[in-house]
Structure 1
């Protein structure tokens, strides 16, 4: 079998160009859709106002602490593992909040020491109304014991979910043990959360920014860029210097 002349064999540079073209093409098909999602979702999240995503335009979270230097009531017998003792206003009335080293919080009547937490439905609705700055449209309230609500609320529990009837279907989550507002979620937040999941390629948890999917597509996108530079370098026109030929000397006279 006759061998291919060396002059007809593809050069190393040509082989590199062909390999780079194939790599660039197939990776672009594989990564292109997600790259489009990255750019599109990034633009959408930049367009949405973060204040509206957090419902800050209809909810105030200003604490109602009355006296942070409260010395402690006489009825407080067990002072072991005590971390903080604070008086504050919950649903318009003064209470004492006790926080211990295990993370537990409880509310008590400042005069008698009667335990007030977990808070009642009436108290939860009162807290929500005091925090709400939009039109009065409270429509539902529900106690959540230990079941997360999708990705919009995962605890701590127990907590009250108070729903308003505004156009954004805003929900406020209130800690049943301390009366603190834990989260505010709306349709704007839910849309932002969905877009964020597409952006980081985490369609279930929304908080894994180092998943294998993201790593693989990130490496693929970087490879596309590098192979593109290789193709550009091979196709870039070269500046060739013209060789000046010296006239050959004629026969001597």
Structure 2
């Protein structure tokens, strides 16, 4: 009798916990499932904007062209150097020097002379050269602070193409490289990503208190539901002769 009473109290308690958790956690569970479905359906290539912007367009360097000795490039650098990379920028060969602290400077490949940072006209030309869509001439603005849309190397140039997807190409001021591409598909993905991780401001923190609290609530909801399923499962009664 005591055992049956304890089981009954446990059943009632589990039912109440499950009911209230379902009311509180249910909406977020729906958002988790919906956002996960949407993100899985969106092609990652379109999210990255690969159909609109060709980020990697390797240019062949002329082997016969004379280049400055490496020591001239190293002497022009103001910090200890980690790596020197020769590449093309808008049809011109340059030496990209990366310092130990991560800073990057550009140098003329023929003379070793240090070049200034990439300006707006150069950033616009880099974006237009990589753009594969159809659009009116883009506008350019300097970005000096991180936003939910871009958290890369700053400062950077934002090149806005007035096309159907409102494509934005971010070009690093220190290197002239395309560091990010944003479009309508990315913004849709980012919106559901923010709902999924419950970071509605910065869209990047996967360890928010809200997420941990609702995840714990979802686990408790599943445990309570499993307990109720066990208690309510039909059992065959033994026949007594």
On whether the aligned pair clears a TM of 0.5, the verdict is yes
Question: Is the contact made by 2:81 and 2:99 (CA closer than 8 Å) also made in structure 1?
Answer: yes
Across the aligned residues of Structure 1 and Structure 2, the Cα RMSD in angstroms comes to 2.3
Q: TM (normalized to structure 2)?
A: 0.89
Question: Is the contact made by 2:105 and 2:114 (CA closer than 8 Å) also made in structure 1?
Answer: yes
Q: Residue 100 of structure 1 corresponds to which residue in structure 2?
A: 99
Question: Is the contact made by 2:68 and 2:112 (CA closer than 8 Å) also made in structure 1?
Answer: no
Question: Is the contact made by 1:82 and 1:101 (CA closer than 8 Å) also made in structure 2?
Answer: yes
Per-residue CA deviation, residues 133-178 of structure 1 (Å, 9 max, x unaligned), is 112433201122x222x21112311211111111000101011111
* Structure 2 residue ranges without an equivalent (≥5): none
Q: Separation in 2 of the partners of 1:39 and 1:235?
A: 27
Q: Residue 167 of structure 1 corresponds to which residue in structure 2?
A: 164
Question: Is the contact made by 1:117 and 1:176 (CA closer than 8 Å) also made in structure 2?
Answer: no
Q: 2:45 aligns with which of 43, 47, 51?
A: 51
Q: How does 1:1-253 map to 2 (within 5 A)?
A: 11-62=5-56, 64=58, 66=60, 72-73=69-70, 75-76=72-73, 77-78=75-76, 81-144=80-143, 146-148=144-146, 150-244=147-241
Question: Displaced runs of 4+ in structure 1, greater than 4 A?
Answer: none
Higher fraction of helix: 2
Q: TM (normalized to structure 1)?
A: 0.85
Q: Separation in 2 of the partners of 1:42 and 1:243?
A: 53
Question: Is the contact made by 2:167 and 2:182 (CA closer than 8 Å) also made in structure 1?
Answer: yes
Deviates more, 1:202-211 or 1:167-176: 202-211
The alpha carbon displacement at 1:235 in A equals 1.6
Question: Is the contact made by 1:140 and 1:164 (CA closer than 8 Å) also made in structure 2?
Answer: yes
Report the number of matched residues.
Answer: 235
Per-residue CA deviation, residues 180-236 of structure 1 (Å, 9 max, x unaligned), is 111001122112111101011111121211222111111111111111121122222
The alpha carbon displacement at 1:111 in A equals 2.6
Look at both structures and tell me which one has the larger radius of gyration over its CA atoms.
1
